[in-house]
Amino acid sequence: METSRAAAEARDAADPLAGFRARFAGTDDSAADGAPNRLLYLDGNSLGRMPRETPAALTRVVEQEWAGGLVGSWSAWIGHATRLGDALASGVLGARSGEVLVADSTSVNLYKLLVAAADARPGRDVIVACADDFPTDRYIVAGVAAARGMTVRELPADLDEGLDPAVLAAALDERVAVVVLSSVAYRSGALHDVAAVTRLVHDAGALVLWDLSHAAGAVEIDLAGAEADLAVGCTYKYLNGGPGAPAFLYVRRDLQDQLRQPIWGWFGQRDQFEMGPAYDPVPGIERFAVGTPPVLAMAAVEVGIGLIAEAGMGALAAKGRALGELIVALADEWLAPHGVALASPRDAGRRGAHVTVAHPAAWQLTQALIDRGVVPDFRTPDRVRLGPAPLYTRFVDVWDAMDRFRGVLESGEFANYPAEHARVT
């Protein structure tokens, strides 16, 4: 690969998604270009940038719908969770209409769907999970298993390469009720073949619950084609819905009426406003709702999903792979001589849209980079995670960030930063 800055500029000039960058706050490049500390944001996989349309969308809901329409606005708001779910289904997840709902947090949705899935496989007492999955996934699996007297088979996974499908295959038997996996590993970016793994799990008679938090908006997903059972994920990462934005859940259409979720709230009730005496879940995806949805936050989610759908997941995924390949090429050339190792799959086809590198002083390097305007994040045990969200990150941004990374290593200044971790990394 040609790794000059001029080559990166040429790729930006030819990028069909280039126009989307200006639709995000903080991207006024004409003013900032050339400034030595121009912000290079490589953490869109933790908190996506704010779309410029978002404040107006929020203001509209606040001033017209809340201040003006008051309680009468509920006639429109009541449909937002499924309307946004349908937008996600068609624009991002490759699911069918009526299979996705925007609600609650990823953690809570994982709990609801995991309990529902375990209930749907009576007589099976094992949940299979990955030892290197995101903490909330591991904790929720452990908590559900403890409450139900089930056993967790926590499969070892390589921190850099992810879970080997052969290890998963060997762990599947007639005791397994549910398998919980992240399609893109939060630390390394290792990518599962969702369709192949789903087939493997189905052959064992179990259900699979995918966490798509690091995949939605980063890679192409075809839940319908994979015949995936269940999925959850965030909207505040690549989908740019804002901090704490509500999450999504997916339940394949034919499973919906067989499944019961454990939080019996009134938003999942048939004829909700009949205020009936006993819980009787409504048919369809809305039975997986619990209580009143966060209407303000959903207005921001809608803008984020709209931009991703407009760009198209094919183009976004291709650019995500290309940005990752540039990171890998520059890391090989500039960082490896300083003891920085690639900590992600080398093959772009086996990665999501982020790339991780390892160095014993990763935490100090992260602080030094942030002081120089490069925002990655630190992940245990010794990783620097670089997440160039393809919707608004340019090839030159990656090039400049890697150039500053090289400078931090060459100067050795990172060693002056404290080794103790901050509360938020």
Ligand X SMILES: *Cc1c(COP(=O)(O)O)cnc(C)c1O
Q: Is 24 in the site for ligand X (CB under 6 A)?
A: no
| Nearest approach, Cβ of residue 152 and ligand X (Å) | 17
Q: Which stretch binds ligand X (CB under 6 A): 7-15, 211-219, 284-292, 370-378?
A: 211-219
SS3 for the chain is CCCCHHHHHHHHHCCCCHHHHHHECCCCHHHHCCCCCCCEECECCCCCCCECCHHHHHHHHHHHHHHHCHHHHHHHHCCHHHHHHHHHHHHHHCCCCCCEEEECCHHHHHHHHHHHHHHCCCCCCEEEEECCCCHHHHHHHHHHHHHHCCEEEEECCECCCECCHHHHHHHCCCCEEEEEEECECCCCCEECCHHHHHHHHHHCCCEEEEECCCCCCCCCCCHHHHCCCEEEECCCCCCCCCCCCCEEEEECHHHHCCCCCCCCCHHHECCHHHCCCCCCECCCHHHHCCCCCCHHHHHHHHHHHHHHHHHCHHHHHHHHHHHHHHHHHHHHHHHHHHCCEECCCCCHHHECCCEEEECCCHHHHHHHHHHCCEECEEECCCEEEEECCCCCCCHHHHHHHHHHHHHHHHHCHHHHCCCCCCCCC
Q: Which stretch binds ligand X (CB under 6 A): 26-34, 164-172, 210-218, 255-263?
A: 210-218
| Nearest approach, Cβ of residue 248 and ligand X (Å) | 11
Q: Is 134 in the site for ligand X (CB under 6 A)?
A: yes
139 is in an annotated binding site: no
Q: Is 425 in the site for ligand X (CB under 6 A)?
A: no
Q: Rank residues 218 and 402 by Cβ distance to ligand X and give the closer one.
A: 218
266 is in an annotated binding site: yes
Q: Rank residues 138 and 253 by Cβ distance to ligand X and give the closer one.
A: 138
Please check whether residue 165 is in contact with residue 195, taking contact to mean a CB–CB distance below 8 angstroms.
Answer: no
In 158-251, beta strands by DSSP E = 176-182, 207-211, 230-233, 247-251
| Nearest approach, Cβ of residue 415 and ligand X (Å) | 31
Q: Is 137 in the site for ligand X (CB under 6 A)?
A: yes
214 is in an annotated binding site: yes
Q: Which stretch binds ligand X (CB under 6 A): 8-16, 118-126, 208-216, 331-339?
A: 208-216
Of 86, 211, 302, 400, which lies in the binding site for ligand X, with binding defined by CB under 6 A? 211
**Residues of this chain, 153-182, that bind ligand X according to CB under 6 A:** 182
Taking each helix axis from N to C terminus, what angle separates 395-411 and 362-371, rounded to the nearest 10 degrees?
Answer: 120
| Nearest approach, Cβ of residue 235 and ligand X (Å) | 9
Q: Rank residues 84 and 368 by Cβ distance to ligand X and give the closer one.
A: 84
Q: Is 11 in the site for ligand X (CB under 6 A)?
A: no
How many residues of this chain interact with ligand X, rule: CB under 6 A?
A: 13
Q: Which residues are catalytic?
A: 134, 211, 236-237, 385
Please check whether residue 79 is in contact with residue 422, taking contact to mean a CB–CB distance below 8 angstroms.
Answer: no
| Nearest approach, Cβ of residue 232 and ligand X (Å) | 8
| Nearest approach, Cβ of residue 247 and ligand X (Å) | 6
Q: Which residue blocks in 23-105 are alpha helix, DSSP H?
A: 29-32, 54-59, 74-77, 80-88
**Residues of this chain, 182-201, that bind ligand X according to CB under 6 A:** 182, 186
**Residues of this chain, 233-252, that bind ligand X according to CB under 6 A:** 234, 247
Q: Which stretch binds ligand X (CB under 6 A): 196-204, 206-214, 253-261, 275-283?
A: 206-214
How far apart are the C-alpha atoms of 331 and 282, rounded to whole Å? Answer: 52
Q: Is 4 exposed, middle or buried (0-12, 13-18, 19+ CB in 10 A)?
A: exposed
Of 11, 124, 214, 287, which lies in the binding site for ligand X, with binding defined by CB under 6 A? 214
134 is in an annotated binding site: yes
| Nearest approach, Cβ of residue 117 and ligand X (Å) | 17
135 is in an annotated binding site: yes
137 is in an annotated binding site: yes
**Residues of this chain, 86-125, that bind ligand X according to CB under 6 A:** 105-107
182 is in an annotated binding site: no
Q: Which stretch binds ligand X (CB under 6 A): 129-137, 144-152, 263-271, 322-330?
A: 129-137
Residue numbers in the known binding site for pyridoxal 5'-phosphate are: 106-107, 134-137, 211, 214, 236, 266, 292
Q: Which positions lie near ligand X, rule CB under 6 A?
A: 105-107, 134, 136-137, 182, 186, 211, 213-214, 234, 247
* Residues tagged in the binding site annotation: 106-107, 134-137, 211, 214, 236, 266, 292
